[in-house]
Chain A
Amino acid sequence: MTKNRLTPVLTAISVFPRLYRRAFKLFGRKAAQLAEPINLKTDLCLAQSTQRDQLYSDMALPDNLLQAFTSDPLTAGDMRFIGREEQSSRLLTAVELWRAGRKTMIAVTGPQGCGITSFLQQLPAQVSSPVNWHYSQLTRRPCNTTDTLTLLSEVVGCDQLIASVVELVDYINDLPPTVFVIDNGHFLACRIMGAHEAIRVFGAVMVATQQHLWVLGCQEIAWLRMAYIFHVDRYFSEHITLSLFNDTELGLCLSTRLQVSGITLNTGGITADQQSQPNDGLGQQLSTLYRLSNGKPDISFFYLLGSLIVHSESRQWDITPAIGLDFSLLKQLISEELFTLAELASHGHLTIDDHRSMFRCSREESWLLLEHLYQQCLLVRNDNADEPSYHLLPLYSDVISRFLTNANYLY
């Protein structure tokens, strides 16, 4: 009788540690001793380019491997460019329609690091018959009409100074039909007072010169911002969205690059007969790599390269389980810092002056805030221009964006 009465109590007691562990896992706390040991790399600076180079140099990774896994955009015909068949087909159809006389403007959008530049650069190799092709990248943000005129003159390859919008439209309309591809369209998403006129002029010139085909490559968040503010989506007849890779595409991407590097991974017990691909050893770690990177190529390269080891005797390459990075630092940021990260995610790049006008604070406050985030290795500082500009560390852009969206700072 006593035993029967005690049974539910004992069951409850035995279940409690499991519930406790699950509950704490859900709430984001580590239950002392009961939780599974979590191994995360806490130093976020590991992904900075200088530290990465140092790490790869310490690991003695060969140059051909590093070149195969570079995050730089892929040029036309590069065999490392994989997937995107549906999007390519839509783009080519739109080009053909334009050639047939239909006025067309195309937007190619996607999250940072999904390969918009590589995708746009494949276009000339894919078009069946020759076409005038002009690719350009925006490198700065137009802040007034004069800026826009200068920027657009550069985009269309005009050397002379054009003083008015009408003159520029006439000049562009006199050019032979051309495909103008503008990359880094996120520079047009501007939330600074006074800049809206500049963006409107930019759009108006594109709309008024549709005998040419305008193709705008733009990061997704910047595109959404422009759609909310200027309703740009109404003017683009074709909107092609690139997403991050799914697990199959990521596997293909990684194995293609390994193939290009000439490295074959140890298959870890899979016999040669069972292998369908030269790098089947990768398959065992693919789900971990996909989970850690969310299908974003550059960070998956980082995790993959960091988990490669070479056996000194057999000279065979092996892959160890990838260790994730600890992003709990983001939870400690204050709202000003989170808003700054959100604006960086939508604008791409911000100078100290941009930040100052956006947040209405002193230059010193802006500098302090941006430098602090840079020192935390969440940002990259570009010192090449006249004024240093900051952008999100590309490898972390997806993690940061998802965190900001969940915290309701980004939408």
Chain B
Amino acid sequence: MPRDTLAQLIELLPLSRLLQITLIIIFTWLFLRILLVGLQQLMQRFPRYRLQMGLMFPVLRIIIWTLITAYIVFGVINPPQSIVFAVLGSLGLAIGLAAQGGVRNLLAGVMMIFNPPFRVGDMVHFGGHYGEVTRLDLSVTWLRTLDDNTIMVPNSAVLENAVVNANSGELSEMVVVNIDLPRSIDILQARSLAKEAAIASPYTFLKKPVRIMVESRYDFNYLLRLVIKAYVVDVRFEGVFSSDITERFIEALNAQGIENSHTHPAESVFID
């Protein structure tokens, strides 16, 4: 019986056919590389549409590999139906038993490609991490954090936790800057300065509104929290934007002599 199987296998996969399959795989891989490089060039040429283009590659890759696999199986090898069912059954059982986590990630990856909670270039909270999506693979997602660390998050995290997408495919993104001030501060003046600081930043996307909210807070003392909500023109500048607004606001407070108004050491300006 094993001898028959081996003979059947050799009959199905002679050396010439193996070579053919190898060539097809190499050409497909090369084609995908060229496609990726081409898309990257296009993304550089039309940065405004880079997020939409970034979404195309993962979808194209899975479609192309599925088509190529189908072609290899049914067009090149063309096994008898009994073997196809036997292999599928065995594969299903083996995969189901041995690689539950992997398959889970894979399935989540497929789900994410056809029903994307985010795309390449989005800023997301995913799997407990925050950063820019730099690559979407079938089983993992790669994030680059604001500290420039690269994090690989298993795709199954999308099935277990909520995903927060800060820009949802748009280039602009809301950035929230929290600033704690002493309660004795002139609220109107502080709000006005905060708004002007947000508008004056060259990274602010002025098409969308700038909002300033005030909250009461207790941290060793009663404080006022100023929440500046503004949109950055491009997600790439999120870090520098947040810092720029904070710097401008503190500088404006200093220029107005506001930081000297508090008397209690705890009543200083805190930035979150």
Contact = CB atoms under 8 A, between A and B. Distances in A.
A91 B197 CA distance: 37
B238 to A, nearest CB: 13
A359 interface: yes
Interface in B196-246: 196-197, 199-200, 202-203, 205-207, 233-234, 237, 244
A196 B199 contact: yes
Interface residues of A, number: 26
Interface stretch (A25-33, A99-107, A166-174): A25-33
A191 interface: yes
B247 interface: yes
A61 to B, nearest CB: 37
A27 B34 CA distance: 12
Given A196-B199, A358-B200, A408 B207 contact: no
Contact of B205 (A27, A191, A335, A411): A411
Contact of A360 (B196, B234, B248): B248
B146 interface: no
Contacts of A28: 41, 45
Contacts of B158: none
A339 B206 contact: no
Interface residues of B, number: 25
B38 A229 contact: no
Contacts of A342: 202
Majority secondary structure, B binding face: helix
B202 A359 contact: yes
A320 B247 CA distance: 56
A408 B202 contact: no
B108 interface: no
B41 A192 contact: no
Interface in A265-284: none
A358 B248 CA distance: 10
A402 to B, nearest CB: 11
Contacts, number: 55
Contact of A23 (B38, B197, B233, B237): B38
A406 B45 CA distance: 8
Interface string A359-384: 11000000000000000000000000
A194 interface: yes
A40 interface: no
Contacts of A194: 196
B190 interface: no
A92 B89 CA distance: 82
Contact of B41 (A27, A360, A408): A27
A398 interface: no
A187 B247 CA distance: 25
Nearest to A193: B200
B48 A191 contact: no
A193 B199 CA distance: 9
B202 A411 contact: no
B196, B199, B202, B233 pick with most chain A CB within 10 angstroms: B202
Contact of B207 (A23, A358, A405, A411): A411
B199 A407 contact: no
A225 interface: yes
Contacts of A228: 206-207
Contact of B47 (A29, A192, A196, A406): A406
B31 to A, nearest CB: 12
Contacts of A343: 202
Sort A-B residue pairs by CB-CB distance and give the 4 closest, nearest first: A228-B206, A27-B41, A193-B200, A408-B48
24 contacts: A27-B41, A27-B42, A28-B41, A191-B199, A191-B200, A193-B196, A193-B248, A193-B251, A193-B252, A196-B196, A196-B199, A228-B207, A229-B206, A335-B237, A359-B202, A360-B244, A360-B248, A360-B251, A405-B48, A406-B47, A406-B48, A407-B47, A407-B48, A411-B233
